[in-house]
Structure formats: C-alpha cells, structure tokens
Amino acid sequence: MSLVGATACATTKVSFDAANNTVINGKTIFPISLAVLPPVDGKTPNGGSAWQEFSKAGVNFARVAPGDYWDKHGWEPEGLHVARKYMDQLAKAKINVWLTLGDELSYVKPDDQEGQSKLKEMLKMFKDHPALGGWKGADEPQWGNMNTKGKRPPESIATAYKLVHEVDPNHPVLVLQAPRGTAADNAAYDAYLDITGMDVFPVGYPPGGHVPTWPNKQISMVGDWTKIIVEAAQGKPVWMTLQIAWSGVAKKGKTLRFPTFPQERFMTYEAIINGARGVNYFGGGHGVAQTLSERDRPLGYNWTFWERVLKPVLAEINETSPLHTALVAANSRLPVKAEGAAGVEFTVREVGEQIFILACKREGETAQVTFSGLPTAVTGGDVLYESPRKVEVSKGQFTDWFGPEEVHVYRLGR
C-alpha cells in the first residue's frame, strides 16, 4: 500500500477528566460531532466554507471515513488521500477528527501480520495530524453492522486496540454499539475501547423501527439506551449518536422523515441528562443522497435540516452558550428530587454560585412537577432559552409545568 507522507505538525493529546469530559491539549470540551459529511470542498448555500460554518455553530468533532458512505473502498490509497484532504480542511476550522479504522482494520487478527502492518502504517501516517482527536474502532460489534453481517466477540477487536495504543498513545479509541443487548452484553467490550456509546435513531414510520424488539417505540428510547450504555461503560466516557437520517427513512420503500426541532432538542438533552458526555449527529451528508433536497443535493449536505433544526439545537449547548460550563461540570450531589409526574428525568450541575437543572419529561400527559432538595439560600432563577420566563424558589423547592417530550433548563442562583 503506497501512502502519501505524514504531516509534520504538533500532536494533539486527548485525555479525560474525573467527570469523563474530553480534554484536548489541556482544554476541556463538550464534544459535538457530525458523522456523514459534505464533500471535502464542502460549501454552504451562500458559498461559504461548510467547515467554518460548522465550527462557528459549535461543532468540534467530525467523523472521517474512507471512501463512500459504507466504507466500501477501505483504507486504500484513494481513501487515504481523501481522508487527508478532509483532515487538512477540518484542522483549519479547528474541528477535531475521529478517524475510522474501517471494518478491515478494526478486526485485524493476532496472526495477520500483513493486516497489522497495514494498520500500523495508517496509524503512523495520521497520528500526528493536528486535526486528529481519536480513532473510530469497530462499528456496532456487539450486534454487527451491514458489512460484518453478524455479532463479533470482544476479542475480535483486541488486536486493533492494542496496536493503536502501541503506535499512538495520545488518542483514544471510540467503539459505538447498536441499541441491542443488555448492559452486561456491551460491557464485555470495555477492555478494548476508551469511549463508547450507541447509535439510536427512533424517528421514522412506523415509530421505533430502528429497534423493533424494544418495547418503547417513542423517542425517549434515547434515554433507555443511554442508561444501558452508561452502565455498560463502567466509568468510561459515553458519546451518544443521534439521528439526522438513517437507512430506515432513506431506503426505497421507506417514508422519508427527519426529527423536528423539539424532537432533536429532546433527544439531545435526554442523552446528556442520562449520562452522555458528548453527542454525535448522524446522517446529514452526501452519503445519504436520498435525504437531500434539490437545493441541497448539489452541495452534498442537508443544509435545510441544519438551518431549521440542528444549528438552533447546537446554539444551546455549544462553547458560547450559557449552559456550556454546566455541561462539563460534574454531577451535583445535591439531594434534588422531582415529584408530581411520571417520566421526568433530570441532572443537576453546580458551577460556582449557580445551580443548573437540566430536566425533560417523556411521553404522557402534561403535568406539574415539583423540584425539591435545593439549598434554602436559592430564591429563584431563569429558564434558559425561554426568556423572559423565571422560576421562584421557596424553602428549597419550586414547581413548573412539563408537556410530553418537553425540556426545561433552569439556572438558579444561591
């Protein structure tokens, strides 16, 4: 395999803090990622750089894969050349890359010296690139994707994991699972990954088609599977992959459907509330051409969805948002409770003298919910992104309304 030369530049070093936040060269971030990208020379509808547009909106990670949508070309010279071009562009936009190893290299065997040599050569080629933020390992090995055609045992990804860390000690390996199995089933892979998560795509017709055996067919299945994979991770970081579009809405015979802004917002917050320390949005790019409008198809990206749905969601969680410091804070130990309605999920974060409560309600009836257990010094605060709405706190508690699949973000002051 003939490879182009490696880029001579400063290496990024990725680590994790005690709260499972991602730390890159000493800077703590909340990963906001895109998977399935525009073409390398991606342009917005007004002719600007796609990568600069993403970066300004808060995207700080992107998955780069060889070849086309399903990585059919593998890591051959052409795929490597395209990957480098992507990484060069993303580096300019200050977006980190999780570079996929692909099915061939993710499952390299202990006795496959040729495959191991190929993997090492690829790792050496990219490990010092300024855009590299991590390696995307095996895809859904506990279930098996459309290429591997079946479940792969944990030991099948052991050799690749070992080689990555031998060649590149500065970057983690991310292994995402399908929403299948129990926490114990998925925990069996923990020895061979540094970050894990799940791909959960609940929006389609009929509802819940992505996980047909799961009893909950509503978008709150995101919370179900986040809890399962957080338990499976046994203390390792979790990034959840959420839907823009997927094969269940983009294939022939399927009805095309995208999440609405309230749905995407709910899924994002529900994942965070239940333990995700990063989010990845899958399916906006040229690899899913059936999902692109006449305006967007020549540009190779679903800018319509970006403008109407995703960009406004990211405005609430990006680095410039008033919530950012809470997203990278540890979970609070305050004894806060939520009572009055079923299906309410929340997390509490403390930042200085401020207390943040991120709360959502699953499907069901609109109801009043009382939060209690706050310090008596707290007298009130605002409801972020619902200005000018505020809440008053008395004797450590307050009450608010929640509709089905509704999110409220409270910022309270002592």
Q: What are phi and psi of 54, to 5 degrees?
A: -65, -45
Q: What is the mean pLDDT of residues 252-269?
A: 96
Q: How many CB atoms lie within 10 A of CB 132?
A: 25
SS3 373: coil
Residues of 388-397 as b/e, b for ≥16 C-beta within 10 angstroms? eeebebeebb
Q: Which amino acid is at 414?
A: R
SS3 268: helix
pTM above 0.75, yes or no: yes
Phi-psi region of 240 (alpha: psi -120 to 50; beta: other; left: phi over 0): beta
Residue 148: its pLDDT value, please?
62
Can the peptide bond before residue 388 be classed as cis, meaning omega within 30 degrees of 0?
Answer: yes
Q: How many CB atoms lie within 10 A of CB 325?
A: 16
Distance CA 261, CA 378 (A): 32
SS3 372: strand
Indicate if the pLDDT at residue 74 is higher than 80. Answer: no
**Which residues partner with 361 through β-bridges?**
344, 406
Give the chain's domains with CATH numbers: 14-327 (3.20.20.80), 337-413 (2.60.40.1180)
Q: In what order do the strands lie in the sheet with 22-24?
A: 14-16, 22-24, 27-29
Q: How many CB atoms lie within 10 A of CB 209?
A: 16
Among 251, 142, 241, which Cα is nearest to 204's? 251
Q: What are phi and psi of 271, to 5 degrees?
A: -65, -45
Q: How large a percentage of the chain has pLDDT more than 90?
A: 87
CA 245 to chain CA centroid, Å, is 14
Tens digit of pLDDT for each residue in 366-388? 999 999 999 999 999 999 999 99
Tens digit of pLDDT for each residue in 20-45? 999 999 999 999 999 999 999 999 99
313 token code pair: 């969601």
Angle, CA of 330, 35 and 116, to the nearest 5°: 95
Total count of residues recorded for the chain? 414
Residue 290: its pLDDT value, please?
84
70 token code pair: 């399903």
Among 237, 206, 236, 208, which Cα is nearest to 224's? 208
Q: Which amino acid is at 8?
A: A
Q: Where are the alpha helices (DSSP H) in 63-210?
A: 77-92, 102-106, 113-126, 158-167, 183-187
Indicate if the pLDDT at residue 400 is higher than 80. Answer: yes
Tens digit of pLDDT for each residue in 293-342? 999 999 999 999 999 999 999 999 999 999 999 999 999 999 999 999 99
Task: Catalogue the E-assigned strands of 150-207.
Answer: 173-177, 195-198
Q: How large a percentage of the chain has pLDDT more than 70?
A: 93
Q: Pairing mode, if any, of strands 96-100 and 132-139?
A: parallel
